[in-house]
Amino acid sequence: MQLSHDEAKLLSGFILSEYERERPTTVRVLEAVPAGQENYSPDPRSMGALKLAWHIAATEWFLFEGAIQGALCKPGLQMPDSIHGIPDVVAWYNAHLPAQIDKAKSLSGEALSRLVDFHGKAKIPAYAILQQMLKHSIHHRGQLSAYLRPMGGKVPSIYGPSGDSE
């Protein structure tokens, strides 16, 4: 079902509000990765903690950019050489994502309704790219939070107290 331009703008406003509520939690989870555990992975098929943290941050930027530009850029963002640890990912995330949020908020209903090629698999409206970005982040944030205790870290409060929070 295709939404009207006004409906797309309204729904995007809700999605972006949800994203802004989730973002501090994502930062808390990223910051909870213990120093020296950047390469930790629970299984050889799983990404290491640093790579997963970068994947969360970079994919948010990438999907925001796709919604903003009306096309997903190829390839996605590669991890800059300046990123050596989780604090670097958090600094990059905090430096680069606010501008993307502001740009997405300023999109018109028409821009949010336009169809974007999603990896050659489907054409979906830009507002759905924003929704996918939110789901993707929450999913991988959950994955990273499951790494924390085996790494010797503590799981921060996500949707309520954790067994590690006071």
Q: What is the pLDDT of residues 22-76, one digit of tens each?
A: 999 999 999 999 999 999 999 999 999 999 999 999 999 999 999 999 988 776 6
The CA-to-CA distance between both ends of the chain, in Å, stands at 45
CATH among 3.30.565.10, 3.40.50.300, 1.20.120.450, 3.40.50.720 for 5-148: 1.20.120.450
**Is the whole-model pTM more than 0.75?**
yes
What SS3 class is residue 160?
Answer: coil
Name residue 118's amino acid: F
Q: Please choose, from the candidates 72, 70, 61, the residue with its C-alpha nearest in 3D space to the C-alpha of residue 95.
A: 61
Tokens of 54: 């970068």
Residue 42: is the preceding peptide bond cis (ω within 30°)? Answer: no
Q: Where are the domains of the chain?
A: 5-148
Residue 104 pLDDT more than 70?
yes
In degrees and rounded to multiples of 5, residue 124 shows phi and psi of -125, 155
- For the stretch 119-131, pLDDT in tens is 777 899 999 999 9
